[in-house]
Amino acid sequence: MQKISVLLFLAWIGFLFYAGIALFTSGFLLTRLELNNHSSCQEPPGPGSLPWGSRGEPGACWMASRFRRLVLVVIDALRFDFAKPKLSQVSGEPPVSLPFLGKLSSFQKILEIQPHHARLYQSKADPPTTTMQRIKALTTGSLPTFVDAGSNFASYAVAEDNLIKQLTNTGRRVVFMGDETWNDLFPGAFSQAFFFSSFDVRDLHTVDNGILEHLHPTMDSGEWDVLIFHFLGVDHCGHKHGPHHPEMAKKLSQMDQVIQGLVERLENDTLLVVTGDHGMTTSGNHGGDSELENSAALFLYSPTALFPSAPPEVSRFLRTYSAVAQDLQVKELHRLQNLFSKASADYQQLLQSPQGAEAALQTVITELQQFLRGVRAMCIESWARFSLVRMAAGAALLAATCFLCLLVSQSAASPGFYFRPLLIPVVWGLTGAMVCAGLLAATGLKLDLVVLGAMAAVGSLLPCLWKAWIGWGSKKPLTALLPMPEPVLLLLLIRFAGFFSDSFVIAEARAAPFLLVSLVLLLVAQLHWEGKLLPPKLLTGPRFGFLTPTGPSRHNGLHALGLGGGLLLCIRVSGLFHRCPEETPACSSSPWLSPLASMVGGRAKNLWYGACVGVLVTLLAVVRLWLRHYGNLKSPEPPVLFVRWGLPLMVLGTAAYWALASGADEAPPRLRALVAGALVMLPRAVAGLAASGLVLLLWRPVTVLVKASTGAPRTRTILTPFSGPPTSQADLDYVVPQIYRHMQEEFRGRLERTKSQGPLTVAAYQLGSVYSAAMVTALTFLAFPLLLLHAERISFVFLLLFLQSFLLLHLLAAGIPITTPGPFTVPWQAVSAWAFMATQTFYSTGHQPVFPAIHWHAAFVGVSEVPGFTWLSALMVGANTFASHLLFAVGCPLLLLWPFLCESQGPRKRRQPPGNEAEARVRPEEEEEPLMEMRLRDAPHHFNAALLQLGLKYLFVLGIQILASALAASILRRHLMVWKVFAPKFIFEAIGFIVSSVGLCLGIALVMRVDGAVSSWFRQLVLSHQRAGEQSSLVYTGAGSSAREAQPHLLPSCSQEPLAPGTSSFYNLKP
Amino acid sequence: MKDTDIKRLLYAHLLCIFSIILSIFIPSFFLENFSILETHLTWLCICSVFVTAVNLILYLVVKSNVSSKRSSLSYKVTRFLKCCIYLLMSCFSFHVIFVLYGAPLIELVLETFLLAVILSTFTTVPCLCLLGPNFKAWLRVFSRNGVTSIWENSLQITTISSFIGTWLGAFPIPLDWGRPWQVFKVFGFHMSSILTFQMAIERKHNICRSLCVCTRHCCTNSRILTTTVQGRFHSHFYT
């Protein structure tokens, strides 16, 4: 019951976070589905032939083209008032003179001289007003959004029908020069192109001068039909100086000269379009939806006179989109559809009876205009408006949940903690949601699922928070809420604050290891500060008598130092596997991230392959060594057998797959089919093996070796050879009990022999590490398929990951005291270090939180044909990206278990120094076998509370990260980098959080499953012995290393008590 | 006794600060085109030499009465050699720690090593002066309840705040503001001075002393050290 309530509570907390994330996302991320429909000349837009259609002309499509050639000049951030004349003509106001006014004087000149040839319009840019989104909007004719959910996440390339594509399809030569973004959007679409990097916003001139250099030669060469220039200087000037700076005047004057030059060179068949893609605020930024950002200038000019023409219009887009997406308002959609059908009916009528219908034409035009406006308004509502209320509510929900995590994790540490109140909010929330859903279903209203979830979350959160708050407020001051040590708090705060700076987000791959290293050094320093690091012997100076170490120094000083040093080394080495973010242009990614197949040199490839296989074998050996060290490899249980035989098979499969994958091109043609088949089958086999291993582990998680020695009386007590007369009191103390015990043995043995059967002694080995053995096995099973999804050389990072977490756990265990009966706690520094390490490993496995950096090749592992975007490939890519989150979250319970595991090393260490031998001999023998993880089982209530606390703490540390990224994205939503840095970071954090929380629940559930299995195992044992009616005794031995050497001699060394039927804690030893 | 000690301590720290200020101005008389911003490596060397010299002078003047028990020449020489070895060792170990912290292994070795040297002059040299080449005594001073005199307390605070200052100096590295003053970020200065201040107050010591301690150490350290780290970072990210 307790276990279920712990799991349910954690799941509920997870749900609260998800609801907050979903609410925030629905307000922040403007999504739109991409349509793959493309227009073609053969398909007319509407029924019937077009009245203006003039088929047969060269280059004509639906209608004849008025101009043969086009010059499109995009001046980034050309606000409408930049094109205004110098003096404002408004009467009553004093004439204002701003640096940017009147600089584009050529517009005015042309408008005055040739009013029929030119027009200046104010064009309205739809938000988000960032360059890439605006270019998309300009070329596709739709509204810009941040996420265009389409088939291709890997690149920014426009998949929808667009202007450039249509132009190239009709055989026009499109020449481009300017902003590099166009290359991302339309890769390979231009017949000639000169791209310039748009990264450095402080650089005003490189792009523009680059364009000017190529402008005239290209224009004069005549090898173009469409010429596109994209100038960035004005935008960069705005970012650097703002619009009110003299620099802006210079820049605009330069643009004016460019336009003048263009106008002079235009021929009669050419149209000139000068447009800004968006405006800018008074501070020079853009991205949002304020009036100044939205207004952009649009200037048209041609040497031949321009005439207004009726726009052809289509409603196919709305129809198709509304069929695909469900997020449009139904009522409005119906109204618009009716409007359109009426308009088109009128239009058809007009076509059939063309004579004298001027009024009818007017109505058709107004109707169609109304229709278009309605469509735009509806789409904007759905696609392109931040919902501040939802964003704020989502962030508040996240913050409240973090707070709740903190509160409950604190109260879970107290001894008198009850689980029952935990479940009440869960029930509340569920019933509330049910009632709401039922009411809505009854009334027939359709409500957003996100809002419903958020309402349920808030409804269940509030009473819980209130209760927890009341419980706290009465007892302790507010400062006790933050019980973590100050340095750890500072590190977490730094991490929190780092999300708000784009530089720190970009440099997080370096910042996360920095924090982790700091934490590790802090741990070592703290150990030293508290006198636990070095044996007191070293420290005893002349004036040093008063310093006594607070706890028993369980660890050798050099041991902890070595752990720390090794950890630092591991972190540094794994930092070598680093992929550069796109924002740092001059950074080179690690060459080791690419798959071996892309390498050219045969010798180097072979060497690398050998090294990778070596790493695999090392990983296997390390895991096996660990299991053997704690003795869990002795058990005859199926999971252990699987570890012994299945894991090598998995290694073999992986190695074979790598060999084939890296050398697939060199295979002889006869074997091609075979190789292709093996390439598909091998990963599947490995994944299948891993899955079956996990199932086996879940089925029989208890990896314990049971030895029942019937009849055979326990052998002699080991008598340490002792020669010569006893010289000291210590020797006497040692010898006398030995003799006594020996006599006792003899006597008992004789008694037993008189009976028909001896007592049954059951010895269970490796019970002390049964939980962590299951965890480590599960992690290994998980790691291998994940390894397969990465490039070969990332296996080094996986090995380092295991080593690193092993070292960290040991280091942490050195600082954690074991509280034998009482409530167990996992300190904050452990949880923070674990979370930092998860982040660090995310980067060191070659990932970056941007979409183009995702390892898409993971979708093709073990798949025969190139698939579409199916759920399976999404899952594989997700597993590749969030492998570190998953592994660390599942392994999180190890933080609780490891200190108990390290307990076994203490006593043995103490016995080693030869000087203490006599002392050791005297020591009563019960102390020899530590209880290790069975201490946890002894206090099931505290065990469950500790698991809950661990889960909550980990969720808290993750939760403040997601909260920080959400807050950063919402506060900085006008920031230049919001769509490039903050929004992707938020998405990655959100998905990472979801993966982590699920993994955490799975890990804790696994521990609970093991616990349940251990309990039932004990029960079975008791039952079987009761049935036999024997007088039996059970011996529990914990430390596996001694068990490994020779089992029998250990038996007598433990105290035994006759098995009392019905008791469950009969393996208890005296402390 | 305590008051005189505190007074001496104050003068010692004032002298140190003075030496750092001198190291900014004096070299410009001897060296051509010397400026902190451009020839920062030279300045680092000079600063380190100055601080070491001042520490040595202080040691000779203030603490000479303590260590005059044994005064045979060979003892002094071995002691001096030992000190040198300790100093060198600390430089190398700091270098190793910086590399483990993320500094590049091969490029910018000089900058990293200079950072190690300057950190050593602020931490190891005072330790050597005060405690001698006695590693056990060092360990004792830097553990809980290990401090026995006000001098050791000052040593503890200054050394730890030097480390914190260096650590804080790394934070402005990723910022891409690209301003010229960023070569010498004074960013870490405020925070570390506040920190030190509080630490000193917690230990209920003379406010005057803690003030001068924090100004001296944090100011110099965070300024100097970020320079090199910064150079390191830029090469890392932009080359």
DSSP output for A304-320: SPP---PPP---HHHHH
CA distance A538 to chain B (A): 7
Tell me the average pLDDT across A928-955. Answer: 80
Q: In sequence order, what are the residues at sequence separation of 6 or more whose Cβ sits closer than 8 angstroms to the Cβ of residue A396?
A: A20
Beta bridge partners of residue A295, listed in sequence order:
A124
Residues of A in contact with B123 (CB under 8 A): none
A711 to A172, A749, A1060, B12: CA distances (angstroms): 97, 11, 19, 81
Task: For chain B, say whether A537 makes contact (Cβ under 8 Å).
Answer: no
Please give the structure tokens belonging to residue A586.
């001059």
How many residues comprise chain B?
239
Per-residue pLDDT at A255 exceeds 80: yes
φ, ψ for residue B176 (rounded to 5)? -110, 35
Per-residue pLDDT at A115 exceeds 90: no
Mutual angle of helices A316-324 and A330-352, in 10-degree steps: 150
Q: Is the separation of the CB atoms in A1043 and A1050 below 8 Å? A: yes
Rounded distance, CA A734 to CA A22, Å?
A: 69
Q: What is the pLDDT of residue A894?
A: 92
A649 to A57, A611, A652: CA distances (angstroms): 69, 18, 5
What counts of helices (H) and strands (E) characterise chain A?
36, 12
Q: What is the pLDDT of residue A1031?
A: 44
Whether residue A541 and residue B144 make contact (CB cut-off 8 A), yes or no, is no
Whether residue A529 and residue B143 make contact (CB cut-off 8 A), yes or no, is yes
Least confident of A186-195, A483-492, A1052-1061: A1052-1061
Q: What is the dihedral of CA A163, A168, A174, A180, to 10 degrees?
A: 60
Q: What share of chain A is helix, strand, coil (3-state, %, to 5)?
A: 60, 5, 30
Q: Is the separation of the CB atoms in A618 and A799 below 8 Å? A: yes
Tell me the average pLDDT across B113-135. Answer: 83
Q: What is the pLDDT of residue A1042?
A: 36
Per-residue pLDDT at A66 exceeds 70: yes
Rounded distance, CA A566 to CA A805, Å?
A: 11
φ, ψ for residue A436 (rounded to 5)? -60, -50
Task: For chain A, say whether B167 makes contact (Cβ under 8 Å).
Answer: yes
Q: What is the pLDDT of residue A779?
A: 93
Q: In sequence order, what are the residues at sequence separation of 6 or more whose Cβ sits closer than 8 angstroms to the Cβ of residue A23?
A: A390, A393, A394, A397, A450, A451, A453, A454
φ, ψ for residue A941 (rounded to 5)? -65, -50
Rounded distance, CA A575 to CA B103, Å?
A: 11
Q: Is the separation of the CB atoms in A304 and A361 below 8 Å? A: no
Task: For chain A, say whether B84 makes contact (Cβ under 8 Å).
Answer: no
Task: For chain A, say whether B148 makes contact (Cβ under 8 Å).
Answer: yes
Tell me the average pLDDT across A756-783. Answer: 74
The CA-to-CA distance between both ends of chain B, in Å, stands at 57
Q: Does residue A545 or residue B28 have the better pLDDT?
A: B28
Measured between CA atoms, the residue of chain B closest to residue A528 is B143
Q: What is the pLDDT of residue A695?
A: 92
φ, ψ for residue A271 (rounded to 5)? -110, 135
Q: Is the separation of the CB atoms in A61 and A170 below 8 Å? A: yes
Q: In sequence order, what are the residues at sequence separation of 6 or more whose Cβ sits closer than 8 angstroms to the Cβ of residue A406?
A: A481, A482, A952, A956
State the CB neighbour count (10 A cutoff) for residue A997. Answer: 24
CA distance A8 to chain B (A): 41
Would you call B56 exposed, middle or buried from its count of C-beta atoms within 10 A (0-12, 13-18, 19+)? middle
Q: What is the pLDDT of residue A1054?
A: 32
Per-residue pLDDT at B18 exceeds 60: yes
Q: How confident is the model at residue A95 (pLDDT cuts 50, 70, 90)?
A: low
Rounded distance, CA A615 to CA B139, Å?
A: 39
B238 to A40, A199, A583: CA distances (angstroms): 46, 13, 10
Per-residue pLDDT at A961 exceeds 90: yes
B21-28's contacts with Cβ under 8 Å and 24+ in sequence apart are B22/B50, B23/B47, B23/B49, B23/B50, B23/B51
Question: Quick one: DSSP state of residue A95?
Answer: P
ipTM of the complex: 0.80
Query: What digits encode the pLDDT tens for the residues A189-228?
Result: 898 888 887 766 667 888 888 898 888 888 888 888 899 9
Q: Is the separation of the CB atoms in B87 and B124 below 8 Å? A: yes
Q: Is the separation of the CB atoms in A677 and A656 below 8 Å? A: no
Q: Does residue A611 or residue A111 have the better pLDDT?
A: A611
Would you call A445 exposed, middle or buried from its count of C-beta atoms within 10 A (0-12, 13-18, 19+)? exposed
Rounded distance, CA A618 to CA A613, Å?
A: 8
Rounded distance, CA A740 to CA A213, Å?
A: 104
Q: What is the pLDDT of residue A800?
A: 92
pTM of the model: 0.74
Q: Is the peptide bond before A701 cis (omega within 30 degrees of 0)?
A: no
CA distance B22 to chain A (A): 34
Least confident of A573-582, A891-900, B179-188: B179-188
Whether residue B140 and residue A544 make contact (CB cut-off 8 A), yes or no, is yes
A142 to A126, A262, A290, A601, A746: CA distances (angstroms): 10, 29, 20, 48, 95
Whether residue B136 and residue A538 make contact (CB cut-off 8 A), yes or no, is yes
Query: What digits encode the pLDDT tens for the residues A709-731?
Result: 544 444 444 444 444 555 566 66
Whether residue A531 and residue B144 make contact (CB cut-off 8 A), yes or no, is yes
Tell me the average pLDDT across A828-854. Answer: 89
Going by their DSSP bridges, the two strands A295-301 and A118-124 should be labelled as: antiparallel
Question: Given CA atoms A441, A447, A453, A454 in this order, what sign does their dihedral have?
Answer: negative
Tell me the average pLDDT across A171-187. Answer: 87
Question: Quick one: DSSP state of residue A1?
Answer: -
Whether residue A511 and residue B101 make contact (CB cut-off 8 A), yes or no, is no
Q: Is the separation of the CB atoms in B162 and B90 below 8 Å? A: no
Amino acid at B26: I
Q: What is the pLDDT of residue A1006?
A: 92
Tell me the average pLDDT across A49-72. Answer: 69
Question: Whose CA is closest to A31, among A337, A316, A372, A450?
Answer: A450
Task: For chain B, say whether A546 makes contact (Cβ under 8 Å).
Answer: yes
Please give the structure tokens belonging to residue A552.
């028993």
Q: Strand, helix or coil at A177? A: strand
Task: For chain B, say whether A542 makes contact (Cβ under 8 Å).
Answer: no
Q: Does residue A707 or residue A800 have the better pLDDT?
A: A800
